[in-house]
Structure 1
């Protein structure tokens, strides 16, 4: 059975990437508005009520407006914005954490943020397992390709190629913090230090842990084994089970689209410190790939269908 999909905001970075992933999928029929209709409220209302699943690739306020246009009990929604990530009535689109059945059966699904995807993939299973305390003051250091900031940031990097690194969120209160705290089950929001680098795509998210100072924390091996067990059998999330750290980790400027995620736990020789690291594509598992994963589940398909999982 073919499902009709409408991407509201299909001209943006995330929307274009989703279209690329769905373009040759016989399971889906894309409902596309012409350039003259993309911002026409009447045309959008008609499309969003005619489709089986609407994927919103819009700013937060516009996403809320799109949901308000739905006047039928059937249209299902995947929202790639921040607008509904901690809203009542919305499933969080991270099937590995919330359960595949939860996403598959939901009418409204909020796509996770790219940085929270890496953070939650690392921390949430370990807090659930009792290997890290929920009241620890976690910190997160992360870098992303500049496409994570949308077309405006892409233009700024391309206009000034002398800039290699942009740190931001220095006033704290980043909009990703509520979902990071809620879905990791934390007592406090983490201290979050995000940055973008001179690469189109790619992301590294790191959570440093002074294990000797964390009462009741598991060992480096315990943390690694718990993550490996949690994601066992996943075609999308993999865990490096080696106890040897590489000399370096790289993000490449010419990286191809990738919808997987790799997790690792690196520890000091004496076991007193650890670094939890997630590598992903901010436009893949961090955005468009995650939306397609949820779409697959909502339409009764294997979650990895149509995804690029060869790094």
Structure 2
């Protein structure tokens, strides 16, 4: 028997990517609404309450409204917006982030998909904080650049329009990006990190970097110790891998996949490190993560429909 999945917001970038990953599978039956019914409250309510699993690919306020429409206690929800990423009663849908998270997701009724930038940051930092290699009160910075598809249809139109698009654009300069509370909470940090995001003139792909003065960190962790910590943390998780030593790392290294690659670069003699994650902002950073969570929640092959 296939799992009945309703995608609310299936015409957006993330929703379309999820539909593509679910297409042709016989263990999932996907339902969407036609254009004339997408804004019909009664039709949406019926679709929401008839599904086994609902995937919300909506702006934050619309996602909250959709949750309020679900009255059937058997319906489980995956929210791909940022509306519930630090909300009580919601399970953070990053299966690899804690040892028991995948098991928790199997029975979770309300799951919030991680943000694309936080996915890279947390994959790098959370194991180090949990193990004590990095103190929870350490002051951290995260620099990150995404392909322009991360900005949705408006940004895609801007970068692919007739006017010359910028090669690189920094934003969120007021240091109040909505991803910051998510990063702090799920990394277990006492202080919010400085988050410096940017967008590059490439459709998809993402580089997330955390620079560290290892010589100033208590215990002076080495690059090898960091790699060993990641190896232990992500053993048995095929979508998270450690990258080989590299002279350069490109934004497109994991584009078109649903995996996440971690690099510990730097100079032990200088006591400095550059921790770098690459992923696809639409893959492990969005649609791929939602499909992975759906697979786990429904008791299906965790990698079905995904590209490692």
What's the TM-score once normalised by structure 2's chain length? 0.96
Aligned-residue offset at 1:196: 0.6
Q: Which residue of 2 aligns with 1:36?
A: 36
Q: Which residue of 2 aligns with 1:107?
A: 109
Correspondence list, 1:41-60, <5 A = 41-60=41-60
Structure 1 unaligned regions, length at least 5:
none
Aligned-CA RMSD value: 1.3
Whole-angstrom CA distance in 1 between matches of 2:97 and 2:87? 17
1:221 pairs, out of 213, 219, 224, with 224
| 1:131 has 2:130 as partner | no
Q: Which residue of 1 aligns with 2:297?
A: 298
Aligned-residue offset at 1:248: 1.3
Whole-angstrom CA distance in 2 between matches of 1:34 and 1:217? 57
Task: State whether residues 133 and 216 of structure 1, in contact with CA within 8 Å, keep that contact through their aligned partners in structure 2.
Answer: no
Please identify runs of 4+ aligned residues in structure 1 that moved more than 2 A: none
Aligned-residue offset at 1:149: 0.7
Structure 2 unaligned regions, length at least 5:
none
- 1:156-209, CA deviations, whole angstroms, 9 ceiling, x for partnerless residues? 111233311111110011100111001110000100000010011000000000
What's the TM-score once normalised by structure 1's chain length? 0.95
What SS does structure 2 have at the residue aligned with 1:262? Answer: strand
- 1:257-294, CA deviations, whole angstroms, 9 ceiling, x for partnerless residues? 21001001012151510111100000000000000000
Task: State whether residues 3 and 29 of structure 1, in contact with CA within 8 Å, keep that contact through their aligned partners in structure 2.
Answer: yes
Residue correspondences, number: 305
Cα 1:65–1:162 shift into 2, 3 Å: closer
Task: State whether residues 219 and 271 of structure 1, in contact with CA within 8 Å, keep that contact through their aligned partners in structure 2.
Answer: no
Correspondence list, 1:22-171, <5 A = 22-98=22-98, 99-159=101-161, 160-171=163-174
| 1:205 has 2:208 as partner | yes
Whole-angstrom CA distance in 2 between matches of 1:211 and 1:73? 49
Whole-angstrom CA distance in 2 between matches of 1:214 and 1:226? 16
Aligned-residue offset at 1:256: 5.4
Whole-angstrom CA distance in 2 between matches of 1:202 and 1:303? 22
What SS does structure 1 have at the residue aligned with 2:144? Answer: strand
| 1:184 has 2:190 as partner | no
Q: Which residue of 2 aligns with 1:4?
A: 4
